[in-house]
Structure 1
């Protein structure tokens, strides 16, 4: 009986096994998903021959740390000037010489495109000297869509040493605070007035007007007072004392104007012997002369720059000292005034 049961069970197993339809084995293809990678460039902003790269790092902080470490190994006082994520390349150019004071960088999908940007940026600061030193770094393929995270190009200035101070030789032209928050742009005089009255940090760009192309950007007082800061690390908006030190170092109010001013003035022209490059870039009150935003005075007469110092004689907390250069028939002078909440002026930074 046991043998019959065993035979019966074996027949059931055989019938079940051979009666099944054989299923094809499915091949599983591993889908390659893009893993975001980060890269960075760090340089010594006072000597661009010190630099460091990083690429293909899993986090932004790791990439930035590595770039700074590589730069410091060369001996520089290094900070990050470019960080990015995704598939692409960064390029860096400096001029030849023992001290690479002129430099530029670029970011693009290919190193050739990035190099074209780096060349252009360097030529802005090299007085036409061709930047022959060229280095580059790329994240690998399949590391995500290329995205610029931080770019310090607008924070790099040519500088001049005037006695014991180091000044930028051009006006500030940033449209974001240091933390990346945008500064609101005023495009009409009505917008400017409203933003100023509402105590909103604001700028206006008058570079499309005749003779204003090299002037930079006009800021209201709330932009210069904002804790987020328009000035890059290592620089500050001059205090009243900074401006007075500059003027005194150049022989006082009546002598300083000509040394600070370029030859681009209407009446008495400057000689720019200090290298400061003071152009007649005047601020605006946003509507005193009409609906269109424009300088308060005609080009060639006045140039105005903010001080971070509040005017002591005024009860208005938004009234600040300012420095101005003005051209007259027989002389050109550098002196001091004040700007209230409605005014906008340019910013010229001085090194800490």
Structure 2
């Protein structure tokens, strides 16, 4: 489908009789003289008929014509992460079809498009769709990508009861710590038990924390790992004026950065200073997720340089608690864990 009309070549014959051509399905092709015009896809039979002469009788021969449907073009484009205040930028689509490509934004409060020029209007999410018309052997097509515009701005610093000072950042309407928690005391001054032994960690039913591999230096860099009993303690793990975010509050952040598992690069620290691989994380929100790994229920450690895991304050009916996992490839997903695992903690402002 979509290919131009073509000319049939007369069959070879010892006769000099004139040839005519016909199709058994005029809905698929039309034939004028020996020129075939394709109308739609399908299979038909074309018959070549040779008229009789003084020496030869009238005869015919057939051939099957298979008309394949139009192809789908390989239409695509890439949208970089953007923040409020960035200058307008040009969309550069790629396609193996030469038909015109137009763009549309579904949220003019976030971005407007004139031609291929995108102008940022405000924070949020806009779905940008590229439309390409039918042309030749290629079907009309469209493809969409998410444009996430953040309004990340560094907020005030935060001090915990131990005197640790944390940077914070405003992301959308939320204010988050830019670092993982590393306090050894609850808000009311009660000591949190530092459990180093594997079997003791496995048997723990009260709040506890540890450094990855019991390394104080790793704790300084990545923050501490806490079991969920510490997260849920009546003594309050978060500093005054802050709290451990619920899964619903984490979901607000998740949706703000794109709302799918491929959006994690927007909260992941860029480069390989701490992550094992550079997969193009932008950290445009300045959340600066670090791969602190985790401590398993049996007390063993796992995943430093490849995984971030953050507890939520949300318990589940099956006895687990919810947490968010950020993998090195920029994948972010909510999951459930038994409460004796050790994960990082980020606090959110009340």
TM-score norm. by structure 1 comes to: 0.50
Q: Cα deviation per residue 1:96-121 (whole Å; 9 max; x = unaligned)?
A: xxx995699xxxxxxxxxxxxxxxxx
State whether structure 2 residue 282 is matched by structure 1 residue 282: no
**Correspondence for 2:52:** none
**Total equivalences in the alignment:** 192
**Secondary structure, aligned partner of 1:308:** strand
- After superposition, the CA RMSD in angstroms is 2.6
State whether structure 2 residue 313 is matched by structure 1 residue 308: yes
Distance 1:272 1:164 in 2: 18
Structure 2: segments with no counterpart, 5+ residues: 1-153
**Correspondence for 1:240:** 247
Q: Cα deviation per residue 1:130-187 (whole Å; 9 max; x = unaligned)?
A: xxxxxxxxxxxxxxxxxxxx95523x42111111110000011111111111111111
Distance 1:103 1:201 in 2: 23
Structure 1: segments with no counterpart, 5+ residues: 1-98, 105-149, 288-292
Flag the structure with larger Rg: 2
Distance 1:239 1:336 in 2: 12
**Secondary structure, aligned partner of 2:296:** coil
Q: Is the CA contact (8 Å cut-off) linking 2:161 and 2:185 kept in structure 1?
A: no
Distance 1:310 1:161 in 2: 26
Change (3 A) 1:253 1:100: closer
Change (3 A) 1:100 1:225: closer
Pick from 286, 296, 308 the counterpart of residue 302 of structure 2. Answer: 296
Change (3 A) 1:221 1:103: closer
State whether structure 2 residue 348 is matched by structure 1 residue 350: yes
Kindly state the Cα deviation for residue 241 of structure 1 after the two structures are TM-superposed: 0.6
Distance 1:103 1:305 in 2: 19
**Correspondence for 1:321:** 322
Distance 1:103 1:323 in 2: 23
Runs of 4+ in 1 over 6 A off after TM superposition: none
Kindly state the Cα deviation for residue 248 of structure 1 after the two structures are TM-superposed: 0.5
**Correspondence for 1:205:** 211
Distance 1:181 1:335 in 2: 33
Q: Which has the higher helix share?
A: 1
Kindly state the Cα deviation for residue 209 of structure 1 after the two structures are TM-superposed: 7.5
Kindly state the Cα deviation for residue 294 of structure 1 after the two structures are TM-superposed: 4.8
Distance 1:240 1:336 in 2: 8
Distance 1:201 1:322 in 2: 17
Distance 1:226 1:157 in 2: 22
Q: Is the CA contact (8 Å cut-off) linking 1:311 and 1:321 kept in structure 2?
A: yes
Distance 1:311 1:254 in 2: 21
State whether structure 2 residue 198 is matched by structure 1 residue 189: yes
Q: Is the CA contact (8 Å cut-off) linking 1:269 and 1:327 kept in structure 2?
A: no
Map residues 1-352 of structure 1 onto 2, 5 A cutoff: 101=156, 153-154=163-164, 156-195=165-204, 199-206=205-212, 208=215, 213-262=220-269, 263=271, 264-267=274-277, 268-287=279-298, 294-297=300-303, 299-312=304-317, 314=318, 316=319, 319-328=320-329, 332-352=330-350
Q: Is the CA contact (8 Å cut-off) linking 1:221 and 1:341 kept in structure 2?
A: yes
Kindly state the Cα deviation for residue 296 of structure 1 after the two structures are TM-superposed: 2.0
**Correspondence for 1:53:** none
Kindly state the Cα deviation for residue 272 of structure 1 after the two structures are TM-superposed: 1.0
Change (3 A) 1:102 1:348: closer
Kindly state the Cα deviation for residue 212 of structure 1 after the two structures are TM-superposed: 5.7
Distance 1:260 1:103 in 2: 19
Q: Is the CA contact (8 Å cut-off) linking 1:178 and 1:229 kept in structure 2?
A: yes
Distance 1:351 1:100 in 2: 11
